[in-house]
Amino acid sequence: MIIKRQAGMSLIEMLVAAVLLAGGIVGSLALQTSANRTTFDAMQRSNAAALAHDILARMRANTQGEAPPTVSSVLKQYTRGDAFKKYGKVDEIVVPDDMCDTTSGEACNTEKVAKYDLYMWEQKLVGKAVSGGTGGVTATDNITSIGLTKPRGCIKVVDNFVEIAITWRGRTETIDATDPNNYPSGTFANGDLREICHDGKSLQNRQVYVNAFVF
């Protein structure tokens, strides 16, 4: 009499297969998480660079038609009379009463245009939507922005020389971009915008810095 033995996978083989499958799934999830983090950081840096060039373009547009001696005085309106100014803190953003009202057809001077530009720029920094007619904001100026994480946008003007720094928090810790020790020189000049433009020291600080001569 021939006895046929049952054939198939043993319990040990099934456990080994389950472990391998679980390892593959965990690895795939970790890879996806890392890719998402990298994509988000790249998107934030691209947005910060665009915001730096946005306010610089607004400043250049506001000086068009001005005589050379008065260009620097128009530029200084973007620092509100200070040596430099920080922007982008949500609880400090208010609608200026006398900014350029695009809904009334009134002639706007450079000071009112600067207030309008700064207000709109701060909305973009924090990703706050703006809509509809209040304070001179028209439907054509609606903003939908992803914003930055804990942003600080800083503007410094010396004569016709403009510096713009935007600092925000990344998803992971690397180095503090506002710390001069992390630059080849190891130091910044006193009052360097790159060092003072932040909302607290952090290894997650990222920064975009732009400078230009406006004439």
- Quick: pLDDT tens for 180-212: 999 998 999 998 999 999 999 999 999 999 999
- Written as one letter, the residue type at 79 is T
User: For the chain, what is the mean pLDDT?
Assistant: 83
Record the pTM. 0.77
Percentage, residues of the chain above pLDDT 70:
80
pLDDT tens-digit series, residues 7-37: 556 777 778 878 887 877 777 666 556 655 6
Residues whose CB falls within 8 Å of the CB of residue 126, separated by 6 or more in sequence, listed in order: 88, 90, 93, 147, 148, 151
Tell which wins on pLDDT, 65 or 113: 113
pLDDT at residue 135 above 50?
Answer: no
Least reliable range by pLDDT among 2-11, 53-62, 107-116, 166-175: 2-11
* Alpha-carbon gap, residue 38 to 31, rounded angstroms: 11
* Alpha-carbon gap, residue 99 to 83, rounded angstroms: 21
pLDDT value at position 142?
45
Q: Which of 199, 120, 209, 109 is closest to 156 using CA atoms?
A: 209
Transcribe 101-146 into DSSP letters: -TTTTPPPPHHHHHHHHHHHHHHHHHT--B-SSGGG--GGG-B---
pLDDT value at position 140?
38
pLDDT value at position 175?
94
Tokens of 53: 């060039």
